[in-house]
């Protein structure tokens, strides 16, 4: 393991923000992760764990150590009549894992195709797309507890999962470093096709009896046409979460805004954040080097040389504007450092 000094993090975050880390190391194995964090806790230095950098916004130089997790390995732990249990090292690229699963006929994560970042970061915000969340297929998460200095495993029930939420994103944030996860994948997959344009695209392609591989292909096609590619335009996907309001709050809103779209979530109601932002006039707007994407208002973009502060100022402007017009406070999905 090589620890480097004063390294630019620009290549390590999909927003393409140019800040520096005082110390920086790429960790390729659990041994390197253990060595790195035991040295850190002895020195009491601030640290940051980084996967693919696709859900972070850096607003200043990081005056501590940044550890970039690149441990690799996909291992079949066990198998029964219906399921295969795969152990996946945290540093595997998530979409490589989806590709592996689909290639081996294992279902459950095909709808999560093309989500950027590491597999090990998946549990942090319980990644989700097209009607599936990671928690639906997660068997366990193995972590290094850098405060208690031991390894432990979490079962999904202990992870406090919610919509883009987990213990790892909230109170366990600086404590648990995810080293691997175990997925329980289905040998007889039940396809989830009733979300977004999946069925429409399958029909267009003339596919009547879809396989998990066909679903993956269609999702890749839909996502590639809708979401800006960070290698072309810096972004971190949805910057904000879709707000969830109570039934009472919804009743108030729908009287004032009768055309407001919504989805029922149990007793509560989810409002598309993109619609709220568009109604406030931000869709496609550019402010210096920062902007709101022209098709996806939830996505903030870096036009080339934006600073993290420029992006954050725009985010706060959007939050205030939505609050003023609708009385709804948007929450940031992206992790700010
Ligand atoms: C174009 C685009 C599309 C996206 N689409 C989706 C989508 O459809 N659904 C969705 O849910 N997300 C989406 N995202 C967000 C992002 O891809 C996910 O949140 C992803 O899981 C982040 O992984 P990462 O490795 O890049 O995390 P990073 O950005 O590196 O880290 C994110 C957070 O996790 C922490 N962290 C990283 N690794 C570990 C670890 N091993 N242990 C503990 N904490 C860790 C970091 O400290 C940080 O706080 C999208 C992003 C982009 C750029």
Measured CA to CA, the distance from residue 132 to residue 195 in angstroms comes to 9
Active site residue 324: no
Token pair, residue 195, equals 């979300």
- Interval 260-317: pLDDT, tens: 999 998 899 999 999 999 999 999 999 999 999 999 999 999 999 999 999 999 999 9
Sign of the CA dihedral running 192, 194, 197, 199: positive
> Is any atom of ligand 1 closer than 6 Å to the C-beta of 113?
no
- In this predicted structure, what is the pLDDT of residue 44? 73
Q: Rounded to 10 degrees, what is the CA torsion of 163, 296, 110, 190?
A: 70
- Considering the chain, what is the average pLDDT of its residues? 95
- In this predicted structure, what is the pLDDT of residue 291? 98
- Interval 177-229: pLDDT, tens: 999 999 999 999 999 999 989 999 999 999 999 999 999 999 999 999 999 99
Sign of the CA dihedral running 166, 153, 144, 76: negative
Active site residue 38: no
Pairing of strands 176-186, 83-89: antiparallel
Report whether 113 contacts 101 (CB < 8 A): no
Main-chain dihedrals φ then ψ at residue 90, nearest 5 degrees = -60, -30
What is the atom index within ligand 1 of the atom nearest the CA of 13? 29
Measured CA to CA, the distance from residue 36 to residue 53 in angstroms comes to 19
CA of 119 to the centre of ligand 1 (A): 9
Of 194, 332, 324, 169, the closest CA to residue 263 belongs to 194
Residue nearest to atom 32 of ligand 1 (CA): 55
Lowest mean pLDDT among 6-10, 34-38, 139-143, 225-229: 34-38
Active site residue 42: no
> Is any atom of ligand 1 closer than 6 Å to the C-beta of 14?
yes
Residue nearest to atom 41 of ligand 1 (CA): 178
Instruction: Decide yes or no: CATH 3.30.465.10 for domain 74-226.
Output: yes
Burial bucket for residue 82 (CB in 10 Å: 0-12, 13-18, 19+): exposed
Measured CA to CA, the distance from residue 147 to residue 134 in angstroms comes to 26
- In this predicted structure, what is the pLDDT of residue 41? 66
Residue 127 burial (CB count, 10 A)? 22
For the whole model, what pTM was predicted?
0.95
> Is any atom of ligand 1 closer than 6 Å to the C-beta of 127?
yes
| Residue in 110, 133, 238, 310 annotated catalytic | 238
CA of 260 to the centre of ligand 1 (A): 29
Q: Which CATH number fits domain 4-69: 1.10.10.10, 3.10.110.10, 3.40.50.720, 3.30.43.10?
A: 3.30.43.10
Classify 234-336 by CATH class: alpha beta
Reported confidence tier of residue 174, pLDDT bands at 50, 70, 90: confident
Sign of the CA dihedral running 309, 314, 320, 326: negative
The structural domains of the chain, with segments of one domain joined by +, span 4-69, 74-226, 234-336
């Amino acid at each position: 393991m090589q620890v480097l000094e004063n390294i630019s993090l620009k290549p390590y975050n999909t927003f393409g923000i140019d800040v520096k880390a005082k110390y920086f190391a790429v960790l390729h194995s659990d041994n390197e992760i253990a060595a790195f964090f035991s040295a850190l806790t002895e020195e009491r230095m601030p640290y940051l764990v980084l996967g693919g950098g696709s859900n972070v916004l850096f607003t200043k130089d990081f005056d501590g150590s940044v550890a970039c997790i690149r441990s690799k390995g996909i291992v079949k732990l066990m198998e029964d009549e219906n399921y295969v249990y795969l152990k996946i090292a945290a540093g595997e690229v998530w979409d490589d894992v989806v590709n592996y699963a689909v290639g081996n006929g294992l279902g459950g994560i095909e709808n999560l195709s093309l989500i950027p970042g590491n597999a090990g970061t998946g549990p942090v915000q319980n990644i989700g797309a097209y009607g599936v969340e990671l928690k639906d297929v997660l068997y366990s998460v193995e972590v290094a507890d850098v405060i208690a200095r031991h390894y432990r495993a979490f079962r999904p029930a202990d992870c406090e999962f919610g919509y883009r939420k987990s213990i790892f994103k909230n109170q366990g944030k600086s404590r648990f470093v995810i080293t691997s996860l175990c997925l329980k994948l289905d040998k007889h997959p039940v396809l989830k096709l009733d979300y977004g344009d999946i069925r429409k695209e399958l029909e267009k392609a003339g596919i009547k009896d879809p396989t998990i591989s066909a679903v993956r292909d269609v999702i890749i096609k839909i996502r590639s046409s809708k979401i800006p590619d960070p290698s072309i335009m810096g972004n971190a996907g949805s910057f904000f979460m879709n707000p969830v309001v109570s039934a009472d709050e919804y009743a108030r809103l729908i009287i004032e805004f009768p055309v407001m779209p919504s989805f029922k979530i149990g007793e509560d109601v989810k409002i598309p954040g993109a619609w709220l932002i568009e109604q406030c006039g931000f869709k496609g707007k550019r402010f210096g080097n920062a902007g709101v994407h022209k098709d996806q208002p939830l996505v903030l973009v870096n036009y080339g040389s934006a600073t993290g502060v420029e992006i954050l100022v725009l985010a706060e402007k959007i939050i205030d504007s939505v609050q003023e017009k609708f009385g709804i406070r948007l929450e940031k999905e992206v992790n700010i450092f």
